[in-house]
C-alpha cells in the first residue's frame, strides 16, 4: 500500500542504522552510503521512445549473473512512476510491475532515498512490507537496489536484484550493483544523447522543410546528404542526383547571361572547393516549359580542425520576381512607344518589338478591324497592321494580309471578344493551319482583343517557340498592355474629335457669321436708303425696298429658328409626340406644296406613293423633314431636271427616298452633309444660297423617331436621300 513521506523517512532512519551496524560487524565501509540521505530530485519525465528495452534487458541479466541472484530488474523514472525497461528471471507477469508508482515499491524507495537499499531478509525487515497489500503476509527473500544517477546527481532509474530466500549481500555484491548502476547511467546518457540528436535533427528537418528556399548539402566526397522538401519541388519530376558527379546536375543550366554552365561551374561543387557564393543567378531551361530563374548562396562546411566537411547551398526561385520586373519593363516600353507615336499604325511595330524583346516571345502581330468593310459578320475582315519577330529567328513566318470574321486565331479572338490561349499551334484544331505552324516553328500562342469602349477594333497576338500551358499572370499582363493600346486609341480619337470640334466651331462661326451677315447687310442697307430717301423716292421705290427688308428678315428668322430647333432636338428639350399618322398623306401634301412653288420651272416631280402608310410619328416634325428634303432637291437642281419621291414598306420599316438629277454630292462628302452647317463644295462654287442646317435638322428629327437617314449611291448625276422609319412604336 502507498505510504506517506513520514513513514518513508522512518524506514530510512532504521535502514541507515542497520547499515552502519552491519558495516561495523563486518569491519568494512562497503555499505557506507555514497550520497546524502536527503530526498533527491527526480529526473524529468522521459519519453518512452528515448530508451530501448533491449539494452536494458541485457543490463538486468548482467546484474543478476554478477551477483548470482535469481532476478535482476532495471527501472527508469518517468515523473512520479517507475517504468520497467529491463528484466531477467522475472517470475511475476511483466505487466504487473511494468508501470508502478514510485511511492509503492522497493525500487521507489531507492528513488526516494537517492541511495542504495540493502535488505537481507524481506520477511524480517520492516521495509519488506512496502510492496505488500494491506494485511498480506511477508514472503522470504532478499533485495539489493542502487539508484542510476546522472552527472548532477539526479535519479534517472534503479538497478536492483532479488533473491527468492534470505541472503546476506556481500561487499562484492554491492560493488557489482554499483557497477551496473554506472553502466545504466552510461546507457541512459547515451540514449538521451541519441534522442536529443534525433530531436534536434527533426527540428532541423522541420525548419528546412518550412523554408521557401531549396537547401542541398553534400559531404566532403560530393555525395548529396541533405535535400529539403522545397529543393525536391524545385527539381520537379527530375530525379534527385546522388552525387555531384552526375550530369543531371548541369543539364539545361546557364548563367544570368544565358551562357551554358559546365560541371565545374556547379555552385555546390564550387563551395566544396572553398568558394563562398552570394546571390549567384542561374537559369534552368526546360524543354517544353518556360525558363526558371534562381538566386544561389553556397559555402563550405568547415570542421573544428579546419578541414572541409562538405558544402551547403540555398536556392531561391526568383522567377516570379524576374517576371514582374520584365512585366514592368514591358509596360514601360509599350507606354513609351505609344507616347511618341502619332497613331496606332505607327505605334504598332514599336509596341510589338517591346513585347517580344522584354517578355521573351518569339513573334507578335497587331490586327485592326477594317472600318471600311461591311458591318455584316459574314463579310467583315480584320487586317494585319504590324508584326515583329525575335532577332535571329530563322523560320519563315507567313502572315496573311487579312482574316475574315471568326477565321484564324486573330479572327476567332475578335469573334469571341475574350483572350484565347493555345498551348501548341501545331496541334489539331489550333486555328492555324498545320503547314503554317510547321514552317514558322511557333507553338504557344495568345490572342487578346483590343477594345475601344465596348467594341473591339483590333487583336494582339503573340507566339512562343515552345509549347506552354495557359498562364493567368501573363494573360493579365497582356490584357493590361492591350488596355494601354485601347486607351491610346481612345486618346487619339478624343484629340481628333477635339480638333474636329475646334474646326467645326470655327466653320460654324464663319458660316453663321456669313449667313447672318448677308440678310443683316441687306436689311441695314435698305433701311439706310429709306432713311435718306425723299418723298418721291419713297413713293416710287419704297415698297420694293420694304419687300427686300421683309424677305431678308424672314430668312434671318428662319435660320435662327432652325438653329434653336436643332439645339433643342440635340439636347432632348424639343417635344416629339408619336401618334399614329398616315405618312403617305404627309408626303403627298409636301409634294403638292413644292409643285406649286416650282410651277413654271423646268423641273418635274414624280411620285410613287402608296394610298396609305400608317406609322407612329410627329406629323409636324416629319412634314418638316419632307419639306427639307424636297427643298434641297429643288435647290440643288438649278438647271431643272427630275425629282422622284418614293415611299414603300420594307420589312418592318417605311422607306422614303427623295432623288434628284441635280449637281450631286461627292462620295467623300456624303457623311459630312449631316453635320451642322456643312455645305458641299459644288453648292459653294455655284453660290447656291442656304445655311446647311436642313439635313442636320432632319437627321435629328428622324433619330427621335428611332429611324435613320443617309445619302445612298445614286446612278447618274444627282443625289438620293433615304429615310427609314419603324412601323412599330418603340
CA dihedral 10, 16, 18, 22 (to 10 degrees): 170
Give the pLDDT band (50/70/90) at residue 343: confident
Q: Quick one: the chain helix, strand, coil %, rounded to 5?
A: 45, 25, 35
pLDDT for the residue numbered 120 = 92
* pLDDT tens-place string over residues 678-720: 454 444 444 445 555 667 777 878 888 888 888 887 777 888 8
Name the residue among 121, 171, 116 with its Cα closest to residue 144. 116
Give the pLDDT band (50/70/90) at residue 191: confident
Name the residue among 659, 667, 670, 613 with its Cα closest to residue 636. 659
Evaluate if residue 504 carries a pLDDT over 90: no
Query: What mean pLDDT do residues 452-475 have?
Result: 81
Dihedral sign, CA of 639, 643, 713, 680? Answer: positive
Return d(Cα 531, Cα 537) in angstroms, integer: 11
Return d(Cα 100, Cα 122) in angstroms, integer: 20
* pLDDT tens-place string over residues 533-569: 887 777 787 788 888 787 778 767 766 666 666 555 5
* pLDDT tens-place string over residues 243-252: 887 765 566 7
The pTM for the full model equals 0.46
Query: What mean pLDDT do residues 11-18 have?
Result: 38
Query: What mean pLDDT do residues 42-49 have?
Result: 48
Dihedral sign, CA of 409, 415, 419, 422? Answer: negative
Query: What mean pLDDT do residues 330-349 have?
Result: 79
In the DSSP assignment, the letter for residue 289 is S
More confident residue, 43 or 385: 385
Q: How far is CA 376 from CA 184, 404, 668, in A?
A: 96, 11, 22
pLDDT for the residue numbered 283 = 85
Evaluate if residue 376 carries a pLDDT over 50: no
In the DSSP assignment, the letter for residue 277 is E
pLDDT for the residue numbered 2 = 35
Evaluate if residue 18 carries a pLDDT over 70: no
Q: Render the burial of 226-238: b for 16+ CB within 10 Å, e for the rest.
A: ebbebbeebbeee
Residue with cell 517591346: 354
Q: How far is CA 564 from CA 188, 523, 678, in A?
A: 108, 22, 17
Q: How far is CA 471 from CA 330, 371, 632, in A?
A: 17, 32, 61
pLDDT for the residue numbered 655 = 93
pLDDT for the residue numbered 334 = 80
Give the pLDDT band (50/70/90) at residue 288: low
Structural contact between residues 99 and 147, judged by C-beta atoms closer than 8 angstroms: no
Return d(Cα 142, Cα 135) in angstroms, integer: 20
Return d(Cα 184, Cα 314) in angstroms, integer: 43
Structural contact between residues 185 and 55, judged by C-beta atoms closer than 8 angstroms: no
Give the pLDDT band (50/70/90) at residue 14: very low
Which residues have CB under 8 Å from 578's CB, separation 6+?
A: 616, 617, 618, 705, 729
16 in helix, strand or coil?
Answer: helix
pLDDT for the residue numbered 15 = 40
Percent of the chain with pLDDT over 70: 76
Give the pLDDT band (50/70/90) at residue 525: confident
Structural contact between residues 97 and 84, judged by C-beta atoms closer than 8 angstroms: yes
Return d(Cα 9, Cα 39) in angstroms, integer: 9
Q: How far is CA 27 from CA 33, 168, 178, 187, 335, in A?
A: 15, 15, 20, 34, 105
The DSSP-derived string for 598-652 is TTTSSEEEEEE--S--EEEE-HHHHHHHHHHHHHHHHHT-TT-EEEEEEEEEETT
Q: In a 10 Å sphere around its CB, with 0-12 CB exposed, 13-18 middle and 19+ buried, how is residue 662 labelled?
A: buried
More confident residue, 50 or 473: 473
Structural contact between residues 405 and 367, judged by C-beta atoms closer than 8 angstroms: no
Amino acid at each position: 500500500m502507498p505510504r506517506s513521506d513520514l513513514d518513508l523517512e522512518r524506514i530510512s532512519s532504521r535502514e541507515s542504522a542497520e547499515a552502519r551496524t552491519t558495516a561495523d560487524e563486518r569491519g568494512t565501509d562497503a555499505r557506507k552510503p555514497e550520497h546524502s540521505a536527503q530526498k533527491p530530485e527526480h529526473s524529468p519525465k522521459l519519453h518512452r521512445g528515448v530508451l530501448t528495452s533491449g539494452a536494458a534487458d541485457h543490463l538486468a541479466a548482467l546484474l543478476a549473473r554478477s551477483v548470482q541472484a535469481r532476478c535482476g530488474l532495471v527501472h527508469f523514472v518517468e515523473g512520479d512512476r517507475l517504468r520497467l525497461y529491463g528484466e531477467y528471471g522475472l517470475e511475476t507477469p511483466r505487466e504487473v510491475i511494468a508501470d508502478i508508482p514510485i511511492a509503492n515499491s522497493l525500487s521507489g524507495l531507492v528513488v526516494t532515498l537517492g541511495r542504495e537499499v540493502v535488505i537481507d531478509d524481506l520477511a524480517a525487515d520492516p521495509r519488506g512490507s512496502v510492496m505488500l497489500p494491506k494485511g498480506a503476509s511477508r514472503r522470504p527473500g532478499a533485495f539489493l537496489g542502487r539508484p542510476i544517477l546522472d552527472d548532477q546527481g539526479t535519479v534517472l532509474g534503479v538497478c536492483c536484484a532479488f533473491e527468492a530466500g534470505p541472503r546476506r549481500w556481500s561487499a562484492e555484491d554491492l560493488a557489482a550493483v554499483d557497477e551496473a548502476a554506472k553502466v545504466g547511467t552510461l546507457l541512459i546518457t547515451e540514449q538521451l544523447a541519441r534522442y536529443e540528436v534525433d530531436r534536434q535533427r527533426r527540428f532541423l528537418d522541420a525548419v528546412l522543410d518550412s523554408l521557401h528556399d531549396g537547401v542541398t548539402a553534400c559531404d566532403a566526397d560530393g555525395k548529396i546528404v541533405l535535400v529539403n522538401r522545397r529543393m525536391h519541388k524545385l527539381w520537379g519530376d527530375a530525379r534527385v542526383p546522388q552525387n555531384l558527379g552526375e550530369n543531371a546536375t548541369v543539364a539545361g543550366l546557364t548563367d544570368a547571361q544565358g551562357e551554358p554552365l559546365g560541371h565545374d561551374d556547379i555552385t555546390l561543387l564550387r563551395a566544396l572547393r572553398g568558394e563562398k557564393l552570394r546571390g549567384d543567378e542561374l537559369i534552368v531551361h526546360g524543354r517544353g516549359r518556360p525558363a526558371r530563374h534562381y538566386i544561389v548562396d553556397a559555402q563550405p562546411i568547415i570542421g573544428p580542425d579546419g578541414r572541409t566537411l562538405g558544402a551547403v547551398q540555398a536556392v531561391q526561385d526568383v522567377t516570379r520576381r524576374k517576371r514582374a520586373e520584365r512585366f514592368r519593363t514591358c509596360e514601360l516600353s509599350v507606354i513609351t512607344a505609344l507616347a511618341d507615336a502619332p497613331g496606332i499604325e505607327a505605334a504598332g511595330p514599336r509596341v510589338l518589338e517591346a513585347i517580344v524583346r522584354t517578355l521573351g516571345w518569339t513573334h507578335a502581330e497587331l490586327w485592326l478591324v477594317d472600318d471600311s468593310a461591311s458591318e455584316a459578320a459574314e463579310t467583315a475582315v480584320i487586317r494585319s497592321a504590324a508584326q515583329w519577330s525575335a532577332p535571329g529567328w530563322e523560320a519563315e513566318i507567313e502572315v496573311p494580309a487579312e482574316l475574315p470574321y471568326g477565321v484564324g486565331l486573330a479572327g476567332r479572338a475578335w469573334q469571341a471578344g475574350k483572350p484565347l490561349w493555345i498551348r501548341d499551334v501545331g496541334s489539331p484544331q489550333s486555328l492555324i493551319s498545320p503547314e503554317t505552324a510547321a514552317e514558322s516553328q511557333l507553338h504557344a500562342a495568345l490572342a487578346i482583343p483590343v477594345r475601344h469602349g465596348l467594341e473591339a477594333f483590333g487583336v494582339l497576338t503573340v507566339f512562343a517557340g515552345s509549347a506552354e500551358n495557359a498562364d493567368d499572370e501573363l494573360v493579365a499582363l497582356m490584357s493590361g498592355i492591350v488596355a494601354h493600346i485601347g486607351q491610346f486609341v481612345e486618346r487619339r480619337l478624343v484629340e481628333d474629335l477635339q480638333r474636329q470640334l475646334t474646326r467645326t466651331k470655327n466653320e460654324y462661326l464663319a458660316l453663321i457669321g456669313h449667313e447672318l451677315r448677308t440678310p443683316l447687310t441687306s436689311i441695314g442697307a435698305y433701311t439706310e436708303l429709306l432713311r435718306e430717301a425723299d418723298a418721291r423716292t419713297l413713293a416710287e421705290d419704297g415698297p420694293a425696298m420694304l419687300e427686300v427688308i421683309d424677305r431678308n428678315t424672314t430668312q434671318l428668322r428662319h435660320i435662327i429658328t432652325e438653329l434653336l430647333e436643332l439645339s433643342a432636338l440635340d439636347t432632348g428639350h424639343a417635344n416629339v409626340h408619336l401618334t399614329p399618322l398616315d405618312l403617305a398623306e404627309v408626303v403627298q401634301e409636301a409634294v403638292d406644296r413644292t409643285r406649286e412653288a416650282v410651277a413654271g420651272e423646268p423641273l418635274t416631280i414624280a411620285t410613287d406613293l402608296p394610298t396609305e402608310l400608317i406609322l407612329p410619328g410627329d406629323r409636324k416634325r416629319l412634314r418638316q423633314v419632307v419639306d427639307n428634303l424636297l427643298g434641297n432637291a429643288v435647290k440643288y437642281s438649278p438647271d431643272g431636271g427630275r425629282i422622284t419621291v418614293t415611299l414603300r414598306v420594307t420589312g418592318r420599316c417605311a422607306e422614303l427616298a427623295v432623288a434628284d438629277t441635280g449637281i450631286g454630292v461627292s462620295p467623300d462628302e456624303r457623311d459630312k452633309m449631316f453635320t451642322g452647317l456643312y455645305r458641299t463644295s459644288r453648292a459653294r462654287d455655284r453660290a447656291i444660297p442656304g445655311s446647311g442646317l436642313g439635313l442636320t435638322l432632319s437627321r435629328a428629327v428622324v433619330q427621335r423617331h428611332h429611324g435613320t437617314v443617309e445619302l445612298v449611291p445614286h446612278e447618274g448625276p444627282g443625289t438620293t436621300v433615304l429615310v427609314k422609319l419603324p412601323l412599330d412604336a418603340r
